[in-house]
Amino acid sequence: MRTYLIIFLSWCILLSCNKDAFLNETPLSDLSPENVLKDVNGYENLITSLHYYTREELTGDDLYRYFDMFTGTDLCTSGQLSVTQFVNYETYLTPATAAASRTYNWCYTSILPYANLIIEEASKPENAGVFSSEAQKNAIIAEARFFRAYGHNILANLYGDICIMDRFYKEPKTDFVRSPRADAYKLISEDLEFASQWLPVTVAKNKEGRIVKGAADHLLAEAYISLGQYDKAIEAADRVINSGTYRLMKERFGVNKDKPGDAFSDLFIQGNQNRSTGNMESIWVWQFEEFTPGGGGSLGGNHSPRGWLPFMVQFTDPAGRLGFALNADSLLRGVAIMRPNPYFLYDLWLSDWNNDMRNSTYNIKREFWYNNPASASFGKRWNPAIHH
């Protein structure tokens, strides 16, 4: 009986391995293109992913990527002793350093694959029924082609000859070959020409942050300059300037328009970036939501104040004690990843110190008062020449 039982169970196991009955299961919960891109909502979700990954140019790293575009230039240098970016180009700027690799990897692993997936799937004839019209399909493709151009443009500007990624790879590829920088700019301009044709001029308030025609034309002007096609660059830029959609802000607007300030400072107040607030200069605005999962960065929000602003909590009072509270007034908690150089802070404005709005006390803050109630100097002006 034992022998018969073993034979019977073995026979059942063999029957259960029928490839037609068992191994062709389709996992409907798998977020594969076949499962996601069945309707327009699926494409919209992937577009949202592109916005998320592109925003990581600023929020993806605490000290790198976005900040590396400024540190070591004629604008600023490292603001902390512990921040070593670009202090010495010969020892720091090598192919292995994060400043060289993180932006490179970010474009190739996040922006370009998703953009190519959308372009390819939306362009397949068998997927035409997903869209309500040819215009709807082209608008989806146009936004994806903008992002593909955006990623390639960053790569070509920073690294010169690059590996052009103009298709979606489902399997690992190890034999990429670098193409001339001009070839990259040619693809960039073609993508942006298509995007300019099919993207909307403006979007509704609940879609602020989505790509519009003006963003494509603005980036297209830069691509034409890179190709040496200056007349085309002028035409693309003129389409933005003369569109009637944008203008330089000369009057007060937004959340603080009734408080002390000026039109230039209003441009940079949190909550004033979108067109719905009255900001007619904005073309494409990354969307942040402070201290909200998914709102940008590890805690949610814009990392710019952290990188640009002085590390006030490290400044001591005359007694050598903590003179500033953790959040130093309206400047939030800066950690001085970058420090504007003296030319930017002072020399640049000497010829018209009092009349240049960009140099007003609302835009460049040079005076600070001790704000730690436990300090004997609380409420007194901080003198950087004496105490630091």
- Per-residue pLDDT of 72-101, as tens digits, reads 788 888 777 776 677 777 888 888 888 888
- Please report the pLDDT score of residue 264 as a whole number: 96
Euclidean distance between CA atoms 115 and 123, whole angstroms: 12
Euclidean distance between CA atoms 120 and 161, whole angstroms: 25
Q: Which CATH architecture has domain 37-246+283-302?
A: Alpha Horseshoe (1.25)
| Domain extent listing, the chain | 37-246+283-302
- Per-residue pLDDT of 283-332, as tens digits, reads 999 998 877 777 776 656 777 777 888 887 778 888 888 888 765 555 56
Euclidean distance between CA atoms 288 and 306, whole angstroms: 14
- Please report the pLDDT score of residue 16 as a whole number: 54
User: Which candidate, 262, 269, 266, 246, places its Cα nearest to that of 330?
Assistant: 269
- Please report the pLDDT score of residue 203 as a whole number: 96
Question: What stretches in the chain show pLDDT beneath 70?
Answer: 1-31, 62-64, 83-84, 297-300, 326-332, 385-388
Euclidean distance between CA atoms 300 and 294, whole angstroms: 6
- Please report the pLDDT score of residue 14 as a whole number: 53
- Please report the pLDDT score of residue 37 as a whole number: 85
- Please report the pLDDT score of residue 388 as a whole number: 47
